[in-house]
Amino acid sequence: MSSTQVFAELAYWQQTGIRVGAALAAVLLVAGALVYMHLFKAVSFMQSRLGPMEAGPYGSLQLLAEVGKHIQKEDIFPTKADRFVFGAAPFVVLASTFLLVVVVPAGPDAWFIDSELGIYLGLAVSSVSVLGILMAGWGSSNKYSLLGGLRATGQLIAYELPLILAVVGVVIQAGTMNMADIVYAQANGEIFGLGIVGNPYILTQGVAFVIFLIAMQAELAQAPFDMPVAESELVTGYMTEYSGMRFLLFFIGEFATAGVFAAVASVLFLGGWYVPGIDPTADVMNLLGPLVMLVKIVGLTFLVFWTRFTMPRFREDQLQRLAWKFLIPIALANIVVTGVLKVAF
Amino acid sequence: MTAVSSRQQLNYIAAQAADARVNLEIETEGMTLNIGPQHPATHGTLRIVAKLDGEQVIAADPVMGYMHRGYEKLSEVRTYPQVTTLVNRIDWLGSFANEVPFILAAEQLMEVEAPPRAQWIRTVLFEMSRIANIVLFLGDMAVQVGAVTPVFFAFRDREHILNQIEAATGGRFHPNFDRIGGLKDDLPKGWIVETKQVMKKMRSFCDEIEELVMGNEIFQARTRGIGVVPADIGLSYGLSGANIRGSGVDWDVRRDGTTGAGGLVHSELDWRVWTHPDGDSFSRFWVRLQEVRESTKMVDQLLDGLPSGPIMAKVPRIIKVPAGEAYVETENPLGVMGYYVVSAGGLVPFRVKIRSASFNNMSITPWLLTGVYVPDIITILGSLYFILGDIDR
């Protein structure tokens, strides 16, 4: 009896419960691992310091201590804040992360929803976070927050386009928007008759991959695209007035979103849970797949945080110019070339 | 040189005017943004009241005085040796340099001159405090435009300089080492060799910053053509130091100074004054970077040619300064710093007027910030490089 059959015999609420639990674990554990590995340790070594060392062996429990600290803090509402909008904003941002994670498969049966729309749905729900950020900026009744919220909105809308256009190239080549089928297409593909490693689309869609990474960096509002939080200009932008638990939600959202976007990128360009030599539909991949995905996520997010702590930030107009004058034309050209080659071969 | 900067300025103004016209048609409502006194970019308690139209500054008004400590008045109830303790705290990143002009003014009034060895060591420490100060600027400027990492390198490498200053004087930040007629102590054993190694480290730090920060396209895009100060306007606002040399004015008190000659020995060294024709934020950064390199070379030369002899001239134990007045200015890390000391004869100064560099450098901000965008406020303030203690005294 395969795992799919076992799962299918459970009641609907049991299936949903398992999925919700798995989604929570997937997002929060990955976010925690990324915070520890990248923010606490990798970045510290780049900056010639050790990072947290006291809480737990090698500082590994530092994140728990931070969470405990934030939970204890007072949840401050500014006097003139729009209380409902201000209070709801972090949840909206986090909701968009959780909605995005449901489209990402981590194994042949390890998925939350198996939708034919797949990546299309994912990119649509990822835009919801703009709403949350705008709510935070407006609801805080703080000028820095307002500027940060408006900057974030302009930036995220500008970089949705190259993100989507980069994905279109992959979708054309795979011939499907279903995320699992994109993985199979890469596993079964071959380049110039060589099928040993399959055909991870980073090889044929390299341009789209670079555009996707840049747009992802901007979507995540990490330097060099961190004008919305620009701590030397706007204090912390739309997060300025938040404290305690709600600040923590924004913080988790930032890293969880980085992890989820990296998961999407690894499915689209790095072959998802596929490793050369193992049949991607084998049952064992349900256990091995999430680990393979985790390795790819850690690698991709390392690129994100490496860039973040190396680059200065763009100015708002320079960022818009980069999106509209460079990334979007290149992404469009990539689509045309992909389409032509798809028909030719 | 002026042609380049004024052309840039005109292009910039034209672009601003075009934006302003667009905004006029939509009829947006202005907003007053209060930057500071508590704000991460003002490194201290500077406050800037900026009137914004969208993200564009219509008018900016710096408000100073949140850190006023009344050193000019306090100096009137301190004896001359005690005053150096106060003035150490003016520019807290390059403390020793603050003591020098005051001591030179007092020496001028008393008509004593420090022995050659004291003058040379004084110059060594003077240049080392410049390095300690500007090294931090080089990292801090990167933070202002959004790159976090270089400032950690700056703190790491400044530590070497501070260790050497501590080894020689006993104080890391506030040496309080300069005395009327000489210095408190001679250099400790082995200090010269160690300091030369530190200077090598500083030069490699400069190379690192040049690659990491100055060579970065985003840094150049953020600083080139931003905050252009034409030479004549800079001079009329009383800018000094790297801020005016960044506008192409070849003027350095260490070389061209008329007052206080004889207290420091820059004239006996082989060095040059760096200028940059553009006058923008990038050129100010560039000039400061070159100055650090030049200072390390100066320290090397000074240590090679250190004369022997006493480090203290013959001065009475209780210092009484004859009546008179003296003004001495030196080229401090932030710009020209001068002390106007009036003595009525006796143990304490009658009046001390401090001309600090940052106060004058700040005075150009209302002119410079008009028409720029909010991110550029931070770039410009960062590149003008002020220390709050130096503004408010």
Q: Give, for all 345 residues of chain A, the pLDDT tens digit.
A: 455 666 667 778 888 888 888 888 888 888 888 888 888 888 888 888 888 888 888 888 888 888 899 889 888 888 888 888 888 888 898 888 888 888 888 877 777 777 788 888 888 888 888 888 888 888 888 888 888 888 888 888 888 889 888 888 888 888 888 888 888 888 877 766 666 667 788 777 888 899 999 998 888 888 788 877 777 777 788 888 888 888 888 888 888 888 889 989 988 888 888 887 777 777 777 788 888 888 888 999 999 888 888 888 888 888 888 888 888 999 899 889 888 888 877
The domain total for chain B is 1
- Who wins on pLDDT, B19 or A35? A35
To test the contact with chain B by mutation, choose from A47, A232, A239, A322 the residue with the greatest count of B C-beta atoms within 10 A, namely A232
Rounded to whole angstroms, what are the CA distances from A237 to A132, A222, A329? 13, 13, 30
Residue B80 maps to a domain:
yes
pLDDT at B2 over 50: no
pLDDT at B81 over 60: yes
Q: How far is CA B76 from the centre of its chain?
A: 25
Interhelix angle A83-101/A244-269, rounded to 10 degrees, is 30
Half-sphere CA count of B106, side-chain side, radius 13 A: 29
Q: What is the structure's pLDDT at B7?
A: 62
Interface touch B149/A310, C-beta < 8 Å: yes
Verdict on whether the full-model pTM lies above 0.90: no
CATH number at residue B344: 1.10.645.10
Chain A residues whose beta carbon lies within 8 Å of the beta carbon of residue B144: 232
DSSP secondary structure code for residue A189 in this structure: -
pLDDT at B63 over 60: yes
Smallest Cβ distance to B31: which of A47, A143, A235?
A: A143
DSSP secondary structure code for residue B346 in this structure: B
Which chain A residue lies closest to B147 (C-alpha atoms)?
Answer: A312
**Distance between CA atoms of A315 and B221, rounded to whole angstroms?**
9
pLDDT band (50, 70, 90) for residue B287: very high
Residue B150 maps to a domain:
yes
Smallest Cβ distance to B146: which of A48, A147, A232?
A: A232
Tell me: ipTM over 0.85. no
Interface touch A46/B146, C-beta < 8 Å: no
Contact (Cβ atoms closer than 8 angstroms) between residue B88 and residue B98: yes
The domain total for chain A is 1
Residue B185 maps to a domain:
yes
Interface touch A48/B156, C-beta < 8 Å: yes
Chain A residues whose beta carbon lies within 8 Å of the beta carbon of residue B374: 147, 233-234
Residue A224 preceded by cis peptide, ω within 30: yes
pLDDT band (50, 70, 90) for residue B198: very high
Q: What is the structure's pLDDT at A111?
A: 75
Q: What is the structure's pLDDT at B296?
A: 92
Chain A residues whose beta carbon lies within 8 Å of the beta carbon of residue B213: 312
Instruction: For residues B211-240, give the mean pLDDT.
Output: 86
Confirm or reject contact between A226 and chain B (CB < 8 A). yes
The residue segments making up the domain with residue A77 are 3-344
To test the contact with chain B by mutation, choose from A39, A229, A315, A325 the residue with the greatest count of B C-beta atoms within 10 A, namely A315
Interface touch B149/A312, C-beta < 8 Å: no
The residue segments making up the domain with residue B178 are 71-392
pLDDT at B262 over 70: no
| Radius of gyration over every alpha carbon of chain B, rounded to an integer in angstroms | 22
Chain A residues whose beta carbon lies within 8 Å of the beta carbon of residue B147: 223, 309-313
Q: What are phi and psi of A225, to 5 degrees?
A: -115, 40
β-bridge partners, B52: B31, B57
Category of B57 on φ-ψ map: left (φ > 0), alpha (ψ -120 to 50) or beta: beta
Please name the residues in contact with A33: beta carbons below 8 A apart, sequence gap of 6 or more.
A294, A298
pLDDT at B155 over 70: yes
| Shortest distance, CA A321 to any CA of chain B (angstroms) | 12
**Distance between CA atoms of A13 and A15, rounded to whole angstroms?**
5
Chain A residues whose beta carbon lies within 8 Å of the beta carbon of residue B156: 48
Chain A residues whose beta carbon lies within 8 Å of the beta carbon of residue B40: 231-232, 235
Confirm or reject contact between A312 and chain B (CB < 8 A). yes
Confirm or reject contact between A223 and chain B (CB < 8 A). yes
| Shortest distance, CA B307 to any CA of chain A (angstroms) | 39
Confirm or reject contact between A306 and chain B (CB < 8 A). no
β-bridge partners, B312: B182
Contact (Cβ atoms closer than 8 angstroms) between residue B72 and residue B51: no
Burial group, residue B116, by CB count within 10 angstroms (0-12, 13-18, 19+) = middle
Interface touch A47/B148, C-beta < 8 Å: yes
| Shortest distance, CA A275 to any CA of chain B (angstroms) | 36
pLDDT at B17 over 70: no
Smallest Cβ distance to A224: which of B40, B144, B218?
A: B218
Smallest Cβ distance to A232: which of B144, B213, B219?
A: B144
Instruction: For residues B30-53, give the mean pLDDT.
Output: 78
**Distance between CA atoms of A80 and A195, rounded to whole angstroms?**
62
To test the contact with chain A by mutation, choose from B209, B373, B374 the residue with the greatest count of A C-beta atoms within 10 A, namely B374
DSSP secondary structure code for residue B340 in this structure: E
Closest CA to B149 of A37, A319, A44, A302: A44
**Distance between CA atoms of A95 and B85, rounded to whole angstroms?**
58
Half-sphere CA count of B225, side-chain side, radius 13 A: 13
| Shortest distance, CA B377 to any CA of chain A (angstroms) | 8
**Distance between CA atoms of B380 and B46, rounded to whole angstroms?**
14
- The 10s digit of each residue's pLDDT in B85-132 is 888 888 888 888 888 888 888 888 888 888 888 888 988 999 999 999
Residue B81 maps to a domain:
yes
Interface touch A224/B219, C-beta < 8 Å: no
Contact (Cβ atoms closer than 8 angstroms) between residue B167 and residue B191: yes
Confirm or reject contact between A214 and chain B (CB < 8 A). no
Of chain B, the percentage scoring pLDDT greater than 90 comes to: 9
Which chain B residue lies closest to A224 (C-alpha atoms)?
Answer: B146
Write down the residue that tokens 């390198």 correspond to: B153
Instruction: For residues B58-80, give the mean pLDDT.
Output: 86
SS3 (DSSP) at B338: strand
Burial group, residue B204, by CB count within 10 angstroms (0-12, 13-18, 19+) = exposed
Give the burial string for B170-195 (b: 16+ CB within 10 Å, else e): eeebbbbbbbbbbbeeebeeebeeeb
pLDDT at B28 over 60: no
Interface touch A312/B222, C-beta < 8 Å: yes
Interface touch B152/A49, C-beta < 8 Å: yes
Q: What is the structure's pLDDT at B8?
A: 63
Chain A residues whose beta carbon lies within 8 Å of the beta carbon of residue B41: 232-233
- Write out the two tokens for A46: 């780049």
To test the contact with chain A by mutation, choose from B16, B32, B149, B282 the residue with the greatest count of A C-beta atoms within 10 A, namely B149
pLDDT band (50, 70, 90) for residue B18: low
pLDDT at B276 over 60: yes
Interface touch A230/B219, C-beta < 8 Å: no
- The 10s digit of each residue's pLDDT in B349-376 is 898 999 888 888 888 888 888 888 888 8
Mean per-residue pLDDT over chain B, rounded: 84
How many degrees, rounded to 5, is the angle at CA B240 between CA B239 and CA B245? Answer: 105
